[in-house]
A and B are shown apart, each in its own frame.
Chain A
Amino acid sequence: MDKPQIIIHATKSLNITLYDVKWIPRSARFVVIGCHPRQTGALQVFEMDQGEPKLIHEVEKKEALKCGTFGASSLKQRDLATGDFNGNMRIWNLEKMETPVYSVSAHKEIINCIDGVGGAGVGEGAPELATGSRDGAVKIWDPRQKDKPVACMEPADGESKRDCWTVAFGHAHNNEDRCVAAGYDNGDIKLFDLRNMSLRWETNIKNGVCGLEFDRKDINMNKLVASTLEAKYHLFDMRTQHPKSGYESLSEKAHKSTVWCARHLPQNRDVFMTCGGSGTLNLWKYEYPTSRVEEDSNGVQKGVMGSVSMLQSVGISTQPIAGFDWSPDKAGLCVCSSFDQCIRVLIVTKLGTL
């Protein structure tokens, strides 16, 4: 019985709507992103103090904040990039939160998702942020360039604009290579190759894509998990791309409700947590097949899927869990936010022995 345990270590009830929560790299602090009842943005920084999260500072911003990331900031700076309901992308120095260090009106509508790479020791290459918005566009930003995105992927004029719900960086294993995956409300997943500036692959999983995450951002693409609206997630093997069928995948039922997001354990890329709309958390482990590639009838290489097994399932809330973040520094420590306005610090044991 070496199953890992998921234990609620601490619960903190707040009076704001919580959309996202992120650990600050190299610290015992995490930042909570959300909005006040009067639709103003809330940024709150908590620090673990003797195992208890303690609010250390808090600011209120004009626009309700939706998402945030540290992915593109260096360990020295540790600036938080946020996207808000009015389409602004801002970068904040958490020590001086009065004015943003970078601010741009990035999209015409709400920024649903943001991801960063190139900073905090995550991924090679330039620090870059990706934002996805209801206006259908995915934009790539470099904090060194003001006002203008370095790349913009949007539907052509006349094409219907799909709501982009999630973006994820990956494949940043050297200075040049980099990919960004985007998931849309109609079930489209598009993989943009930022080196060639081209669409590398696209598929449709017939269900709104709520969350996308590569198991690692800074390696040659390995796995991609896409969680969907209706109690399912898809796991793609991103190593081998077949010219016709693309990437192989498996799908797994989970949560009996919307799977809000999937988060890979930083210390073990084959373990990931999915967060459900019913307030449950599922911990999964992916088992590789004996051979990851096979040849099809024409002698073209094709990926082979392994299998996933659920390690643990636990219900912690009655409301959807929208935000989840593993501590990058302490294996097994994680924090999640749910729509019951609570943040919970969780401990997952026995991860080291898996």
Chain B
Amino acid sequence: MSADKFLQLQKDVRHNQEDLKAFMRDLNSWETNIKQTDKELNQDAGGTAVSSQEKVIPPIRNKKVDAKKKRKKKKDVVKEPEITEHTPSLTNGSSSAERKKIRGYDYRSWDKFDVDAACAELDSDDEESTRKTQAQEEDDEEETDSEAEREEMEAQRKIMEANAEKEKGNTFFKKGKYEDAVACYSKGLKVDPDNALLSANRAMALLKLKRFEEAEKDCDSAISLDSTYIKAYARRGTARLELGKLEEAQKDFEQVLNIETENKQAKNEIKKIDKLLKEREEERRRAEEPSNVVHAVNKPPHLRSKRPLKRMTIQEVGKGVAEEKQREREKLKIERENVKMQQEKTDRTSSDRNNQNADVDRTGEKKIQEIKSRTGEGKGERSEQKDRPQTSGSPRGKGDSPREGGGKSPTVSSVKPTLPGVPSTSYQLQADWKRLQSHPDILFEYFKKIPSATYPKLFQNCLDSAMLNQILHLLTTSYIPSNTPISETLERLTAVKRFDMNIMFMSPREKQVIQGLFSHLKLEVDEQKYQQLAKKYGL
């Protein structure tokens, strides 16, 4: 038994030894063989020798997944119109919502989708029966699948290439090599012209190179590709600012604020532009105005320091008063004659009415006022003529509406406050407003002069319901009759602080005023804008 076992063991050991020996021999021959193949492979790797099995390697994973997702989305959208054909508005809404989510380069795929969808729809039209259509569509899908995939792969490759260029450009940009950066971005754009990022980045580099026109163009294209791209707006704004297109620049920055309300840069830029615009306005006015007299009238009121102002005013006012008095005297003469003629014709009621006029406090003037208003009512043309001398020299006078000219006489203006310049601060506006409150015509002139874009800045927190009502009243009584467009003012007002609150607490009567304004506004703006404004005004 044990001998048996021992023999068995011995046999096993011998067996194993033989096995091992065989293995070792094998190993040695294998070693030489494998070394040969190894060497060949290494040499292969050195050159670009043809491999025995040129395998087609599938694309990089996430790209594939992206493409699939996209295709899936496409399919969904293609199906949607089919199902909900009788509710087109709904479909549009959802698809546009989806579109919003997709950024930059994806737009191209959407373009493609449109074509596909159109094709599919055409097909379905041809085929008539819906079931058939479905089958057909599936077939189509299968057929175009590989093709579409290849196309998408190609597109993906391009995008990758473009991104690589972008990265390169960005590094150049960081190093301050703007020329090189521009070159890189341009290369990238050649490969992938629909990349909003690339154009926007190139625009930035161009800005640095002070090539503003090109920068503006790049921003244009970036914005057309992605209308919510804040940076593109900001950069275009900067470019336009540098090009001196102040209004457009301002619009761009406002757009930035529309998208991102707390954008500091945009706010600052708008402030800067406002200042520049004002300066420019001033310059233009100065250039237009021929005599220094008007210059003086326009300048003094508020900005000057007190001391020189005092001295000046004494001189000027004295002069002005003297002149005016002389003119008045002349006019009075004519007036008196008129009065005589008129008084005979007119009845007492009108003078009663005028007696109540609170504006007139001086007894001497009262009469004139009376007369004037009456003559104005009767003969608008004539008083308008007289109106001229008062505002002569100022281009503003020419634009006066007949009604205004008719209603007020030049003589009264001596009592009336003078027309102040465009206010630059909220305080100034408030002061002026208080002063002019009772003179709607001057208030109108005054208010008209204020660039509507500056409302939010000027009004700040001072827009109360009384003021708003006054403005609205002004619009009703002065703007509309004089055919001055009101849409701009109405629109800008909505941007003023506390506007919403004021609207909220309006009485029905005040609402009626707005109602009236809007019935006029309808003629001025298109439906969409109208609706938009109406909503803001709580109609």
Contact = CB atoms under 8 A, between A and B. Distances in A.
List the 7 closest A-B pairs by CB distance, nearest first.
A27-B38, A150-B61, A150-B62, A126-B58, A349-B19, A142-B60, A1-B12
Contacts of A197: 65
Nearest to A150: B61
Nearest to B31: A28
Interface in A174-219: 175-176, 194, 197
Contact of A151 (B12, B57, B61): B61
Given A28-B38, A76-B45, A194 B61 contact: yes
Nearest to B22: A349
Contacts of B20: 5, 7, 347, 349
Given A51-B31, A118-B57, 4 more contacts: A27-B41, A127-B57, A128-B61, A145-B60
A179 B44 CA distance: 32
Contact of A142 (B12, B27, B37, B61): B61
Given A1-B15, A350-B19, A151 B27 contact: no
B160 to A, nearest CB: 8
Contacts of A95: 42, 45
Nearest to B46: A95
Give the interface centre of A51, A76, A128 by most chain B CB atoms within 10 Å. Answer: A76
B504 interface: no
Interface string A20-39: 00001011110000000000
Helix, strand, loop or mixed for chain B's interface?
Answer: helix
A340 B361 CA distance: 114
A66 interface: no
Contacts of A126: 57-61
A78 interface: yes
Contact of B34 (A51, A118, A329, A349): A329
Contacts of A49: 31
Contacts of B60: 126, 142, 144-145, 150
Q: How large is the interface on A (under 10, 10 to 19, 20 to 34, 35 or more residues)?
A: 35 or more
A7 B24 CA distance: 11
Interface in A98-155: 118, 125-128, 140, 142, 144-145, 150-151
A216 B266 CA distance: 61
B31 A48 contact: yes
Interface string B50-94: 010000011111100100000000000000000000000000000
Interface of A: 1, 5, 7, 24, 26-29, 47-51, 74-78, 95, 118, 125-128, 140, 142, 144-145, 150-151, 175-176, 194, 197, 329-330, 332-333, 347, 349-350
Given A76-B51, A347-B20, A140 B61 contact: yes
B61 A26 contact: no
Nearest to A7: B20
Given A76-B44, A330-B30, A1 B8 contact: yes
B28 A51 contact: yes
B34 A28 contact: yes
B16 interface: yes
Nearest to A350: B19
A216 B35 CA distance: 26
A26 B12 contact: no
A142 B65 CA distance: 14
11 contacts: A7-B20, A28-B31, A28-B34, A28-B35, A48-B27, A51-B27, A51-B28, A95-B45, A150-B60, A176-B58, A197-B65
Contacts of B16: 5, 349
B23 interface: yes
Contacts of A349: 16, 19-20, 23
A76 B28 contact: no
Contacts of A142: 60-61
Contacts of B23: 332, 347, 349
A350 B15 CA distance: 11
Contacts of B41: 26-27, 75-76, 78
